[in-house]
Amino acid sequence: MKKKNINSWLLREEKRALKVYLISFYITLVLYDFFYYYLFPKFILGMKPELDIPLVYWGYVILLGVLPVSFYLSRKGKQHSIKYLYIILYMAFAAFSDILQFTAESTEYRSGNAAELILILFSPIFINKRFFWVAFIASILRYLIVGVFIKSGAVVFPVALIIVLSVIAFIFLNRSYSFIRTLTNAYEELRHKEKLAFVGQMAASVGHEIKNPLASLKGFTQLQKEKYTSDQQYFSIMEQEIDRINSIVNDLLLLGKPRPSQFQKCDMKNNISYVISVTEQQASQKKIAFSIESDDQIPPIECDENQIKQVFMNLIKNGLDSMENGGEFRILLKLVADHKLSISFIDQGCGIPKSDLEKLFDPFYTTKQDGTGLGLLVSKKIVEDHQGEITVESKLNKGTKVEVILPIVQ
């Protein structure tokens, strides 16, 4: 439904631009010919106007005859073709008439119509670079072909004028593109912030409903930990995971209302080893082997350890979920320029379609049946709060690479 609305808006704007373009073209064409063939010779040169000009009349017949074709194309929903029809038809006829006229006459070449300036200068109103180049090339070819046939260098001046006008039109076209791109980005950013605000409001309303059971669960876990002393390692992991769930709720609140991170120096290798220990059971069930590759000297970085663990947990779990047939999950750590650390997570899963890559960080967007669409969103927010960046590359049926780049010092 949304795509249909966008298409209807685009068609409506195309029709409006086409009306302005053609009305300006026809008015300029008629006024210029009236001035050039009647007013100029009669009132300025003091001569009797020469109105026996068959080629001019034929031009009007052709341009009026193309109107029914334009209406037909419009009814068929092919408004985009009409402007191309006019520009090519007019330039072809203008070149043909000039060749006929100046091949038969020995007079100096003098031709052109102010309407041609409209075709060039008004081309940016369609916000279409392809049409701009068609109009530019057709206008240049129109004079070059005439110059070759009549063997005259006088076409250099109109060609130079067209180039100058085209440069001006191209500047306007680029500014229009830039303006529209800025508006689009501003709208997308506003829409994204509205979604984040909604997530924050939702988290605030249900946060206490999640935290209360977690507090009880943590209390019972501590009691069991005291009772079964032989399983201290597992109970410690359970407690840490409960704390991490509690942290997730806080990070959801962070989307709507940012809070300062607690930065301290952390060893990324230890953080990755911890996350692997938590996800190792899921990996072994799917016959997935972890592979860690690292530069020799990886310094500790300043970060919020719990938040970074959450990012790594989200990325590793996403990778494991995509690897239904097992394989190798690679984690690469390397130093990059500007005192930054790159952590890459490379899986051999099903991959992500190109159409979905741009939506990965949208709130509530997920490709999983049981996904919430918040994991990557929260991860990106955490990485950006650490003055870092996160990028995703993927190929269908080959795998996905997620790279997180973090500064070593905040």
Residue 136 confidence (pLDDT): 95
Q: What letters, b where the CB count within 10 A reaches 16 and e where it falls short, cover 323-334?
A: beeebebbbbbe
pLDDT tens profile 138-184: 999 999 999 999 888 888 999 999 999 999 999 999 999 999 889 88
Average pLDDT for 287-316:
89
Residue 134 confidence (pLDDT): 94
Q: Which CATH superfamily does the domain covering 264-407 fall into?
A: Histidine kinase-like ATPase, C-terminal domain (3.30.565.10)
**Who has greater pLDDT, 318 or 372?**
318
- What percentage of residues in the chain have a pLDDT greater than 70? 89
Rounded distance, CA 339 to CA 294, Å? 16
In this model, does residue 235 exceed pLDDT 60? yes
Rounded distance, CA 161 to CA 157, Å? 6
Per-residue pLDDT band at 124 (split at 50, 70, 90) = very high
List of residues 6+ apart from 371 with CB closer than 8 A: none
In this model, does residue 262 exceed pLDDT 70? yes
Rounded distance, CA 337 to CA 98, Å? 62
Question: What is the pTM (predicted TM-score) of this model?
Answer: 0.59
pLDDT tens profile 39-80: 888 888 878 877 667 778 888 899 889 989 988 888 888 888
* Secondary structure (H, E, C), the chain: CHHHHHHHHHHHHHHHHHHHHHHHHHHHHHHHHHHHHHHHHHHHCCCCCCCCCHHHHHHHHHHHHHHHHHHHHHHCCCHHHHHHHHHHHHHHHHHHHHHHHHHHCCCCCCCCCHHHHHHHHCHHHHCCHHHHHHHHHHHHHHHHHHHHHHCCHHHHHHHHHHHHHHHHHHHHHHHHHHHHHHHHHHHHHHHHHHHHHHHHHHHHHHHHHHHHHHHHHHHHHHHHHHHCHHHHHHHHHHHHHHHHHHHHHHHHHHHHCCCCCCCEEECHHHHHHHHHHHHHHHHHHCCEEEEEEECCCCCCEEECHHHHHHHHHHHHHHHHHHCCCCEEEEEEEEEECCCEEEEEEECCCCCCCHHHHCCCCCCCCCCCCCCCCCHHHHHHHHHHHCCCEEEEEEECCCEEEEEEEEECCC
Residue 230 confidence (pLDDT): 75
Residue 139 confidence (pLDDT): 93
Listed by start position, the domains of the chain span 2-151, 193-256, 264-407
